[in-house]
Structure 1
């Protein structure tokens, strides 16, 4: 589990330590150099980078032609950039990646909570789904306006939602090579995608129906 002191140093201060720990655990990135490349429903096998420089080169290679998620929080690498040259090694600095990822998630969490009208665990689940897909209620949530000062549900210290002993994890790092060409190359028939529509695989074992659409659960 990610260290509480590290969270206090690097994560968005509007999120509790427990929420950040749950956020990072459900994303499931195996290390801070993780690069996940997807196109549509395909997750492509790409070389595992050994250094931040290799991870950055890999990210630059695929941003603009596929969805690329990076680092500890599997932050969407295409957000807020016009071309790949704007990407930097900060994406693979653990503290900086946690800062960016939790800041984005914090905004999404407030959007979901505002939709419900009050703090509740369901808003956390919706926020996780929206961070995974990039959309909430049909809107690109990464570019959505921050609702501002919205109180969110906070887990009690020492607890984690939906992490029972018998619940199977489904980490982002468990990539599938289906449809990938040799060496992780994208097939020629795969169209370029909006790099900001950042679908990814996350462990949402606390949600009874994993096939629900992004959006609020039934009230």
Structure 2
């Protein structure tokens, strides 16, 4: 279990401490130096690093060829990295990894929550959390690379920016352009994935009515 003090100091504040604990327990590791390497569906056996330097060397050896997850949150080591030399030791620092991992998981959680229509209630929360964990582990949600998918807030901001750019000075943007809803329920991308794709999303339950008043 992740130390409560570490969560308070380092975890993304948008996630409740209880969610952070569940997240790390379900998808992470208690070892800050934990490195997981996958080649397709196969887990590649690698020596357990005993120092941060050894952990970083192991990541550099595999990045670009295999999928590498690192640290307490099993953060996707290759996310946003163009070359191995750009990797930072933050990946295997307990606090930094928890900060990065929980911030990214919070985004994934919001994407899943939005897809379901932002339902409320414990049953809905449990389902959203389960799907968010699956998305975190696979890297995909509804056939899309979830780590690179804009969050609902990012979509809204981009839509607002595009609307402002398209409207002439003095015009009221809200009267001329409709801003699309943040959540996209289309499953076209998922259907187009290969049948044997292990990351293909399955049929989901519509939770939009749960907790409705």
TM (norm. structure 2) is 0.70
Match of 1:141 among 138, 146, 171: 146
Q: Which has the higher helix share?
A: 2
Bigger relative contact order (CA 8 A; separation at least 6): 1
Structure 2 residue aligned with 1:86:
86
Distance in structure 2 (CA, Å) of the matches to 1:28 and 1:140: 19
Aligned length: 158
Distance in structure 1 (CA, Å) of the matches to 2:146 and 2:130: 15
TM (norm. structure 1) is 0.68
**Which secondary structure state, in structure 1, belongs to the residue aligned with residue 150 of structure 2?**
coil
Distance in structure 2 (CA, Å) of the matches to 1:212 and 1:56: 27
Distance in structure 2 (CA, Å) of the matches to 1:216 and 1:17: 30
CA shift, 1:4, in A, is 1.9
Does structure 1 residue 217 correspond to structure 2 residue 204? yes
Distance in structure 2 (CA, Å) of the matches to 1:103 and 1:216: 27
Assess, with a 3 A threshold, how the Cα gap between structure 1 residues 28 and 81 changes in structure 2: closer, same or farther: closer
Assess, with a 3 A threshold, how the Cα gap between structure 1 residues 216 and 114 changes in structure 2: closer, same or farther: farther
Assess, with a 3 A threshold, how the Cα gap between structure 1 residues 4 and 217 changes in structure 2: closer, same or farther: farther
User: Contact between 2:37 and 2:44, CA under 8 Å: does it hold in 1?
Assistant: yes
Structure 2: which 5+ residue stretches go unaligned? Answer: 155-197, 207-213
Structure 1 residue aligned with 2:128:
123
Structure 1 residue aligned with 2:2:
2
CA shift, 1:102, in A, is 0.5
**Which secondary structure state, in structure 2, belongs to the residue aligned with residue 142 of structure 1?**
helix
User: Contact between 2:140 and 2:200, CA under 8 Å: does it hold in 1?
Assistant: no
User: Contact between 2:139 and 2:199, CA under 8 Å: does it hold in 1?
Assistant: no
Q: CA-atom RMSD, angstroms?
A: 1.8
